[in-house]
């Protein structure tokens, strides 16, 4: 859906804005290359390393199997095998996907009718958003990054085909389902994708009639991807929720209560609005009513789609405790699309009002709108930069020091062991089971039995160990 301002534009503008967006992204995200491995990185990589090769390769194609988020293993394992305990290559690989998401957001916003400037602004917001800051420096959020990448790619692919006036044929439907599968196998947030395709059809290509026969005909033709996506979700839920036993994990047990809903809304909106800590029940309700009014006051499908995406996409985590920041990546995309569209509309309305003032009415309305947009963007960038300086940079200066210390001290000792050995760490800087994962990745030998003395092991087990390591005065030493 092109606007009048989109029909004629210099050819240089798009590549120039893309280059500026990339430079902006690099400016904000470059410091994150200096962060260490996250506390969850070693367990994630070690669990992938311990899998049979066939499961690593084919796991993402088997949604009915109880494999935990198998697709990111395609990124984690090759990078770690090539570069070992150097976190920079893995950070670069992850940030490249984040940058790719920025341009997917722009392309999707244009396809949905957001207009050129609103689409660029939505992409700018996604370049660096303080409210989801750990997404940019914590490699453990690789699951969210890849889920969002394939989620957006699936949406964009579907919308592009439908806007050509065609229904997806079976080959195109298979490609869409493949992208949906990869999103699902990255993180569970993707179960909302069929719902968003249904909303897209309702907003942009509604059935000619709502009679049962017409709806049934629509479901078998235009709605085939929705039905296929639902079937894929059922297979996934069977294997990855009930089949894997994750539903019994305390971290994944939902709490269905209004208290949980209010707590989630206060947390998520506080993050999406860049750490504004003044949300309460009343303000949350007022904000949702205001957004609903803005979305439905005029026939603007892009605002309605963004509103519904913001409402629906967090549902897989809304009733789980402790979800924040980077977990809101897909909702942040919806928020960016909604706010940027409203912002550009508001700038145009204010410019139209000012153009009637005698003193400045000789200034072209488009120039005034552009000036207002520029002022808003400058304020946004300054706010982002200040919040990053105050709240993010001090945290990322020395992230997860115990994990990093364990890795560095093991490098200094540089131990070597025989295959089929039993190894015990009497003490370590982490003081938990994560030291086992670090040791597994250091030795990379499936025949080894590695244990930590947390809680204390029986003396006979320590006596039977072939190798004993201890942590003394800040250094590992080999006792036996």
Same domain, yes or no: 210 and 264: yes
What is the C-alpha to C-alpha distance for residues 288 and 274, in angstroms, rounded to an integer? 17
Is the confidence at residue 4, as pLDDT, over 50?
Answer: no
User: Is residue 6 a part of any domain in this protein?
Assistant: no
Say what the pLDDT of residue 1 is: 44
Question: Do 228 and 177 form a contact (C-beta atoms < 8 A)?
Answer: yes
Question: Do 254 and 319 form a contact (C-beta atoms < 8 A)?
Answer: yes
What does pTM read for this prediction? 0.90
CA distances from 147 to 102, 144, 179, 429 (A): 14, 5, 10, 33
- Show the domain range for 118: 12-396
Question: Do 183 and 190 form a contact (C-beta atoms < 8 A)?
Answer: yes
Same domain, yes or no: 391 and 420: no
Same domain, yes or no: 289 and 438: no
In 3-state terms, what secondary structure has residue 419?
coil
User: Is residue 2 a part of any domain in this protein?
Assistant: no
Same domain, yes or no: 325 and 421: no
- Closest by CA position to 476, among listed 428, 437, 431, 442: 428
Same domain, yes or no: 410 and 309: no
pLDDT (tens digit per residue) in 6-44:
445 677 788 888 898 999 999 988 888 888 888 788 888
Phi, psi of 276 (to 5 degrees): -70, 115
Domain boundary among 367, 396, 425: 396
What is the C-alpha to C-alpha distance for residues 36 and 130, in angstroms, rounded to an integer? 19
The structural domain count of the chain equals: 2
Contacts (Cβ under 8 Å, ≥6 apart) of 157: 172, 175, 176, 179
Say what the pLDDT of residue 174 is: 92
Question: Do 245 and 66 form a contact (C-beta atoms < 8 A)?
Answer: yes
Question: Do 313 and 87 form a contact (C-beta atoms < 8 A)?
Answer: no
61 band by pLDDT with thresholds 50, 70 and 90: very high
Half-sphere exposure (Cβ direction) of 211: Cα atoms closer than 13 Å: 4
Contacts (Cβ under 8 Å, ≥6 apart) of 254: 319, 320
In 3-state terms, what secondary structure has residue 471?
strand
- Closest by CA position to 233, among listed 203, 191, 282, 205: 191
2 band by pLDDT with thresholds 50, 70 and 90: very low
Same domain, yes or no: 129 and 223: yes
5 band by pLDDT with thresholds 50, 70 and 90: very low
Same domain, yes or no: 412 and 310: no
Domain boundary among 377, 396, 415: 396
Question: Do 448 and 421 form a contact (C-beta atoms < 8 A)?
Answer: yes
Question: Do 449 and 429 form a contact (C-beta atoms < 8 A)?
Answer: no
User: Is residue 69 a part of any domain in this protein?
Assistant: yes
- Paired strand residues for 367: none
How far the first Cα of the chain sits from its last, in Å, is 71
Same domain, yes or no: 204 and 217: yes
Q: What is the mean pLDDT of the chain?
A: 85
Burial group, residue 464, by CB count within 10 angstroms (0-12, 13-18, 19+): exposed
Say what the pLDDT of residue 459 is: 85
pLDDT (tens digit per residue) in 75-126:
999 999 999 888 899 999 999 999 999 999 999 999 999 888 899 999 999 9
User: Is residue 16 a part of any domain in this protein?
Assistant: yes
- What is the spatial order of strands in the sheet that 467-472 belongs to? 449-452, 422-425, 467-472, 475-478
CB atoms within 10 A of CB 11: 7
Is the confidence at residue 58, as pLDDT, over 60?
Answer: yes
Same domain, yes or no: 204 and 264: yes
pLDDT above 70: percentage of residues in the chain: 95
Same domain, yes or no: 183 and 299: yes
Greatest Cα pair distance, the chain, in angstroms, is 92
Strands 422-425 and 467-472: parallel
Say what the pLDDT of residue 368 is: 80
User: Is residue 5 a part of any domain in this protein?
Assistant: no
pLDDT (tens digit per residue) in 441-461:
998 888 998 888 888 888 888
Say what the pLDDT of residue 216 is: 76
Burial group, residue 309, by CB count within 10 angstroms (0-12, 13-18, 19+): buried
Domain boundary among 365, 396, 427: 396
Same domain, yes or no: 126 and 237: yes
CA angle 311, 316, 318 (to 5 degrees): 65
What is the C-alpha to C-alpha distance for residues 91 and 339, in angstroms, rounded to an integer? 29
User: Is residue 7 a part of any domain in this protein?
Assistant: no
Same domain, yes or no: 154 and 293: yes
User: Is residue 67 a part of any domain in this protein?
Assistant: yes
- Closest by CA position to 28, among listed 121, 109, 98: 98
User: Is residue 4 a part of any domain in this protein?
Assistant: no
């Amino acid at each position: 859906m092109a606007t009048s301002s989109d029909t004629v534009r210099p050819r240089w503008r798009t590549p120039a804005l893309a280059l500026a967006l990339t430079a902006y992204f690099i400016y904000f995200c470059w410091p994150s290359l200096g962060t260490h491995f996250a506390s969850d990185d070693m367990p994630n990589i070690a669990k992938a390393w311990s899998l049979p090769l066939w499961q690593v390769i084919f796991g993402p194609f088997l949604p009915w199997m109880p494999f935990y988020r198998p697709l990111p293993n395609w990124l984690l394992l090759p990078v770690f095998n090539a570069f070992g305990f150097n976190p920079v290559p893995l950070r670069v690989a992850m940030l490249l996907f984040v940058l790719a998401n920025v341009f997917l957001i722009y392309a999707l916003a244009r396809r949905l009718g957001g207009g050129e400037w609103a689409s660029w602004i939505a992409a700018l917001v996604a370049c660096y958003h303080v409210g989801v800051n750990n997404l940019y420096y914590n490699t453990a959020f690789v699951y969210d990054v890849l889920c969002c990448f394939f989620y957006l790619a699936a949406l964009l692919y579907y919308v592009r085909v439908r806007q050509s006036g065609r229904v997806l044929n079976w080959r195109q439907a298979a490609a869409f389902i493949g992208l949906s599968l990869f999103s699902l196998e990255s993180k569970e947030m993707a179960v909302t994708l069929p719902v968003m395709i249904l909303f897209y059809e309702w907003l942009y290509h509604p059935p000619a009639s709502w009679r049962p026969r017409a709806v049934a005909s629509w479901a078998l033709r235009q709605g085939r991807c929705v039905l296929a996506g639902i079937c894929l979700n059922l297979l996934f839920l069977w294997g990855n929720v009930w089949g894997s036993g994750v539903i019994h994990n305390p971290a994944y047990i939902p709490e269905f209560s209004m208290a949980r809903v209010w707590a989630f809304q206060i947390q998520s909106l506080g993050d999406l609005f860049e750490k504004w800590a003044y949300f309460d029940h009343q303000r949350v309700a007022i904000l949702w009513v205001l957004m609903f009014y803005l979305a439905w006051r005029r026939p603007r499908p892009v605002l309605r789609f963004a509103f519904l995406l913001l409402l629906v996409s967090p549902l897989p985590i809304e009733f789980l405790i402790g979800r924040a920041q980077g977990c809101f990546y897909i909702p942040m995309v919806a928020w960016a699309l909604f706010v940027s569209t409203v912002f550009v509309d508001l700038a145009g309305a204010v410019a139209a009002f000012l153009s009637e003032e005698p003193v400045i009415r000789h200034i072209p309305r488009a120039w005034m709108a552009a000036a207002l947009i520029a002022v808003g963007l400058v304020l946004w960038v300054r706010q982002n930069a200040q919040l990053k300086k105050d709240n993010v940079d001090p945290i990322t200066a020395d992230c997860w020091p115990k994990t990093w210390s364990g890795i560095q001290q093991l490098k200094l000792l540089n131990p070597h062991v025989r295959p089929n050995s039993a190894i015990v760490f009497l003490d370590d800087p982490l003081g938990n089971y994560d030291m086992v994962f670090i040791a597994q990745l250091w030795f990379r030998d499936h025949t080894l039995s590695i244990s930590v003395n947390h809680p204390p092991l029986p003396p006979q087990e320590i006596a039977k160990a072939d190798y004993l390591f201890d942590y003394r005065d800040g250094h590992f030493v080999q006792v036996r």
